[in-house]
Amino acid sequence: MQKQLVSLWIAWILGIIITLSAAVYQRLTGPTHPKRTKVEINDNTHKFKLPRSNGESDCEVSVSIDDNTVSASLFYRRFPTNEAYQELKMQREGENLIAMLPQQPPAGKLQYYLEFSSEKEVIKLFKENPVKIRFKGDVPLYILAPHVLFMFLAMLLSNVSALTAAFGNPKFRFYAKLTFFALLIGGMILGPVVQLFAFGELWTGFPNGKDLTDNKTLFAFLFWILAFIMNLKKPRPVYVIIASIVLLMIYSIPHSMMGSELDPETGKIMTGMINFLIY
C-alpha cells in the first residue's frame, strides 16, 4: 500500500510537470499567438508584440516607442490575395504608436507589415514576410472556459493514467475512465461548439474537412475509446499507455495550425493542408 501511494504521488507530480510543459509549448508555438519582435531605430531597441488573432472588432496594433521623432505606418491587405496594400498612419498616444486593423468576417485573415521613419532612417519590418492575423467570432465565456478546463484535465489525467499504469498502480483504470470522459466533454462536445461560435462551422474535421484541430482531437479520442473499452473488464495498461502517448503527441502540434480560413473571393471557409502551405 505504501509503495502504491508513493507511485501515485510521483505520477501526479510528473503528470503536472508534463502537462504544463506541453500547454506552454503549444501556446507559444501556435500561429495565433502574438508575435514577439523588436525594431532598432535611432540607436535604440524597442520590443513589442504583434497580434495574430482577434475577435469581433477592429484589432489594435500598438508599438511602444518613446522617441517622439519616430513615426510609423501599418500596411495591410486581405490574405490570401494580391491586392494592393492599404496604409494606416499610426497615431501617437503617449509612448505608443497605434493603428486599428479593420474587422474581418469569422476566419477572415489580413497580412500586414510596419514601416518606421525617423530623420536618420526608414525601416520596413516584415515587408518580405508579413504577419498574418485571423479574425473569429467571440466565444461566450460559459462555453470557452469549460472547454479549456476539460481539455487541460484530459491531458493531465491522461499523463497520470500512463504513469500509474507504467508504475503498476491499479488506480490507472480509474484515471483512464476520467480521461475518457474529460476528452469526450472537452474535445468532442464543447470543442465543436467553440468552433461554431468562432467560425460558424460545428465540425470541419473528417469527413467534412481537413481542419487539423478537429482531426487531431478525433484521432486521439479514437485511441481513448479503445483504451476505455479494453479496460472495462480487466486491466490492460498497454492500451492506456499508448492512448496517452498519442494524446501527448497531439498536444505537441501547435494549436490552430491548418485551421479555418475564409476565401476572400468566394466567401467560403477553407481548411486543411492548403492553408498550412500558404500560411
Among residues 135, 150, 165, the one where a domain terminates is: 135
Alpha-carbon gap, residue 33 to 244, rounded angstroms: 26
**pLDDT, mean of residues 200-207:** 80
Residue 65 shares a structural domain with residue 184: no
All three cell numbers of 264: 476572400
Helical H runs in the chain? 2-29, 141-166, 172-183, 190-199, 212-230, 237-251, 273-278
Q: Would you state the torsion angle of the CA atoms of residues 169, 171, 173, 175, taken in this order, to the nearest 10 degrees?
A: -120
Express each pLDDT in 77-95 by its tens digit.
999 999 999 999 999 999 9
Among residues 110, 135, 160, the one where a domain terminates is: 135
Residue 164 shares a structural domain with residue 271: yes
Nearest to 215 by CA among 175, 178, 256: 256
Alpha-carbon gap, residue 90 to 113, rounded angstroms: 12
Residue 7 shares a structural domain with residue 43: no
Alpha-carbon gap, residue 192 to 59, rounded angstroms: 25
Residue 181 shares a structural domain with residue 255: yes
Residue 253 shares a structural domain with residue 270: yes
Residue 127 shares a structural domain with residue 196: no
Alpha-carbon gap, residue 33 to 26, rounded angstroms: 10
Residue 86 shares a structural domain with residue 160: no
Strands (E), 157-275: 261-262, 269-270
All three cell numbers of 122: 526608414
CATH number, residue 41: 2.60.40.10
HSE-up (13 A, CA, CB side) for residue 67: 17
pTM of the model: 0.82
Residue 203 pLDDT: 82
Among residues 135, 170, 185, the one where a domain terminates is: 135
Residue 234 shares a structural domain with residue 192: yes
Express each pLDDT in 160-197 by its tens digit.
999 999 999 999 999 999 999 999 999 999 999 998 99
Nearest to 110 by CA among 47, 58, 37: 58
Pairing between β-strand 131-135 and β-strand 53-54 as defined by DSSP bridges: parallel
Residue 32 pLDDT: 81
**Domain that includes residue 195, residue range:** 2-30+139-278
Residue 97 shares a structural domain with residue 227: no
* Grid cell 475518457 in the structure block, residue: 180
As for how many domains the chain has, the answer is: 2
Residue 226 shares a structural domain with residue 156: yes
